[in-house]
Amino acid sequence: MSQEELTAIARLTQEVERLNTHRFVAIHNSVWRLLLFQFSRGLAFGLGSVLGATILVSLLLWWLAQFEFIPIVGDWTRQIIEWIENTRAAR
């Protein structure tokens, strides 16, 4: 083999060693680590989705509550606000 080929092989060997020590590869080498990683990732995604949707819906309802002068939207938002207040009062 020529010197260039040996140098290329040495570089490839170093790169493979560097990739094998990477966190992503280390997590995926163990089934239990992979399951724990995916489970925690799913929990974070679910929690973020619920919190984001809650904030978005509450802001949307608050914004719609400001339009009481529009007959259709005002009546609809008034019904939603009354339903929320009745639900809170029942607790």
Q: At what angle do helices 71-90 and 31-65 cross, to 10 degrees?
A: 120
Q: How confident is the model at residue 41 (pLDDT cuts 50, 70, 90)?
A: very high
Distance CA 60, CA 54 (A): 10
Domain count, the chain: 1
Q: Which residue has the tokens 């509450």?
A: 58
What pLDDT shows up at residue 21? 78
Cα 19 versus chain centre, distance? 27
What pLDDT shows up at residue 88? 87
pLDDT tens-digit readout, 52-69: 999 999 998 888 777 666
- The pTM of this model reads 0.48
Domain limits at 76? 3-90
